[in-house]
Amino acid sequence: MIITTTDFVPGKKVKEILGLVRGNTIQAKHIGKDIVAGFRNIVGGEIREYTEMLTEAREIALRRMVEKAEKLGADAVINVRFMTSAVMGGAAEILAYGTAVKLEDES
Higher pLDDT, 65 or 28: 65
Instruction: DSSP for 29-87, please give it.
Output: --HHHHHHHHHHHHH-S--HHHHHHHHHHHHHHHHHHHHHHHHTT-SEEEEEEEEEEEE
Binned at pLDDT 50, 70 and 90, residue 24 comes out as very high
Alpha-carbon gap, residue 65 to 95, rounded angstroms: 9
Tens digits of residue pLDDT in 70-103: 999 999 999 999 999 988 776 789 999 999 999 9
**Lowest-confidence region among 19-23, 26-30, 68-72, 102-106:** 26-30
Question: How do the domains of the chain map onto residue ranges?
Answer: 2-105
Tens digits of residue pLDDT in 29-67: 655 555 555 655 666 667 777 788 889 999 999 999 999
Give percent of the chain above pLDDT 70.
83
Burial 70-100 (b: 16+ CB within 10 A, else e): eeeebbbbbebebeeeeeeebebebbbbbbb
Q: What is the CATH superfamily name and number for domain 2-105?
A: Hypothetical protein apc22750. Chain B (3.30.110.70)
